[in-house]
Structure 1
């Protein structure tokens, strides 16, 4: 039975508000863009939290192996983004993944992970989504899945609020760890040592030994 027939069969006893509807091509691509942005923000946050001493010097001299952690984090997040039935982007856009054979059934977690392996072929997958009548990726065809609009999703205002809270959380973490990141740089530590050893400033430092917070730039 074709997907169109399955949708018609599933919608026979449904009112207009609860009809099964395939997510549009634009929504699918926008959800993937949101997932990539969140993965990028998360990976960047991990880098800030686990910065090493003199990281500014390390960045100047490191080779491609130094980028493995950053890009590996992004790849890991994108691979497992649908592990709970939908990614963050799909949640914010009210979308859900279902099996082709049973549109009420969520695929297994193994399938949800396997279908994201083909994101490595993103240009190809993007073209296939745009050309397919039901906005299915190559992975959807291989693992017999389809992305539908979620009729039981949170209200739009709540989803917008959730997205803003997540972005604010990343922004807050960046602010909290920015000072420690600056203080771990070789440039900051060298400048602080030079200030503390400068003879005309020693009397002032004895009166106020704490150097004020460094200027912060996002």
Structure 2
């Protein structure tokens, strides 16, 4: 325990990073790197969680939802703990030429154990953010505990390198955003309200007259939540054409009920 507190509060003078072709990362770059990491991890979790949502999730107790999403929580924790696994850098650090080094071994690459250890203290994130600002070497308590320092590789700027990194960042964001967008209908379709709205259209004669028999729903449902009702929008394709349908559910009671069905006919199908 004494060693733990000594690590946190005794601030040894590090070697001059310039001797090793490095310089200490500024707090601004540390923050930017963290925001990049936070963004991509959040997008990953937002794209994954719909697949773990239980059927009829909107009728479940909070405790049941929490249990169902335990794999997602574990994934998030794992991504944060092991985010510096790309040669001592996270994705955000790599973008800014930052990486984690071992203070006790002449600025050599920090071990995997050290990299995980320093990220454990992110559970006190507000304190860690403040520590970066207050510490003269921009070290948070996790760095002090693990005996690490975040440094920047001293490289002359090259247009090609910057362009490649910008393209890589845009590709990653687009891929993760696409995962998020395509995954959202999965959770919507598992809701009891959605399934009730969908079932209400079975045998709905005005719909059959417009699109014909054997119709099917499009992939992208729409949903609007209000205090006393929920509106689900469907695109329905059939042999006679296609149309949009809105089903309104009254949510003021424990068991929602359909109160209105509206056809919004596509102009091309008229």
Question: Which TM-score applies when normalising by structure 1?
Answer: 0.79
Map of 1:182 onto structure 2: 188
Superposition deviation, residue 140 in structure 1: 1.9
Distance 1:37 1:47 in 2: 16
1:2 aligns with 2:51: no
Superposition deviation, residue 213 in structure 1: 4.3
* Correspondence for 2:177 among 155, 171, 174: 171
Question: Which TM-score applies when normalising by structure 2?
Answer: 0.66
Distance 2:127 2:207 in 1: 63
Distance 1:97 1:74 in 2: 21
Superposition deviation, residue 200 in structure 1: 5.0
Please state whether the residue corresponding to 1:207 is helix, strand or coil.
coil
Give the structure with the higher percent helix.
1
Superposition deviation, residue 178 in structure 1: 3.2
Task: Please tell me whether Structure 1 or Structure 2 has the larger radius of gyration of its CA atoms.
Answer: 2
Map of 1:62 onto structure 2: 62
Point out where structure 1 has 5 or more consecutive residues left out of the alignment. 11-18
Give the structure, 1 or 2, with the largest relative contact order (CA under 8 Å, sep 6 or more): 1
1:83-117 CA-partner distances (Å, limit 9, x unpaired): 33111111122201111133452111111111111
Superposition deviation, residue 77 in structure 1: 1.6
Q: What does residue range 1-218 of structure 1 map to in structure 2 within 5 Å?
A: 2-3=13-14, 5-10=15-20, 19-58=21-60, 61-63=61-63, 65-66=66-67, 68-84=70-86, 85-151=88-154, 155-201=161-207, 207-216=213-222
Distance 1:29 1:201 in 2: 54
Q: Taking structure 1 as reference, are residues 144 and 179 closer, same or farther at Cα in structure 2, changes over 3 Å only?
A: closer
Please state whether the residue corresponding to 1:148 is helix, strand or coil.
strand
Map of 2:3 onto structure 1: none
Distance 1:8 1:36 in 2: 29
Distance 2:145 2:183 in 1: 43
Q: Taking structure 1 as reference, are residues 29 and 201 closer, same or farther at Cα in structure 2, changes over 3 Å only?
A: closer
Deviant stretches of 4+, over 6 Å: none
Please state whether the residue corresponding to 1:101 is helix, strand or coil.
helix
Tell me, yes or no, if the aligned pair for 1:22 and 1:148 is still in contact at 8 Å: yes
Please state whether the residue corresponding to 1:21 is helix, strand or coil.
strand
Tell me, yes or no, if the aligned pair for 2:17 and 2:107 is still in contact at 8 Å: no
1:134-180 CA-partner distances (Å, limit 9, x unpaired): 11112222322111112469822222222211111112112323333
Distance 1:160 1:57 in 2: 44
Tell me, yes or no, if the aligned pair for 1:98 and 1:147 is still in contact at 8 Å: yes
Distance 1:212 1:46 in 2: 21
Distance 1:147 1:101 in 2: 13
Distance 2:79 2:191 in 1: 28
Tell me, yes or no, if the aligned pair for 1:31 and 1:89 is still in contact at 8 Å: yes
